[in-house]
Amino acid sequence: MNRIAIYPGSFDPPTRGHEDLIRRALTMVDRLIVAVAINPSKEPLFTVEQRLAMLAEVTDHDPRIEYASFHGLLADFARERDATIVVRGLRAVSDFEYEFQMAMMNRKLHGSLETVFLVPAVDLTYLSSSLVRTAARFGGNLDGLVHPSVAAALATRYGR
């Protein structure tokens, strides 16, 4: 059985939390599509191409991973790619309501798409891309929070 899962997100930028989740997901599926969602209402720090390149770098260009981007509905993208699983992380109770609604909506839109929630490493549960961006903008220490290549990209982006 060829189990294909999608791990969707903004990944602006990818953090050690995302890497941790990708590693955990790879223990359960044959192929993982790490998919950058193109959201016209968000103004990202990094372009889609930069985020895809960073994701490939931080995961060592793992051959089990496909790095993709998508417009529109996740349910449609999953159908297009024959993916049957959506992987999402639950960092804290505060993530639950939003994630639960999204999982229900995705099930309504695509009846055989299952959402699987993974729990990240405990020391990464507070992490988010916007916290990383804020810390980077003001020269904060990002050791342990992002891959060195992401830290370098943030430093360049903020002119440090």
Positions that interact with ligand COA (CB under 6 A): 8-10, 12, 15, 17-18, 21, 37, 73-75, 89, 91, 102, 105-106, 120, 124, 127-130
Is 23 annotated as catalytic?
no
Residue with Cβ nearer ligand COA (1 or 143): 143
Residue with Cβ nearer ligand COA (52 or 120): 120
Question: Least distance to ligand COA from the beta carbon of 17, Å?
Answer: 2
Pairing of strands 114-118, 31-37: unpaired
* Residue tagged active-site, from 16, 18, 51, 88: 18
The C-alpha atoms of residue 156 and residue 125 are separated, in whole angstroms, by: 26
Question: Least distance to ligand COA from the beta carbon of 129, Å?
Answer: 3
**Residue 121 CA: distances (Å) to CA of 109, 143, 145, 156:** 31, 16, 12, 28
Is 42 annotated as catalytic?
yes
User: To 10 degrees, the CA torsion angle through 94, 29, 129, 122?
Assistant: 60
Is 107 annotated as catalytic?
no
Q: CA nearest 36: which of 17, 18, 61?
A: 18
Question: Least distance to ligand COA from the beta carbon of 27, Å?
Answer: 15
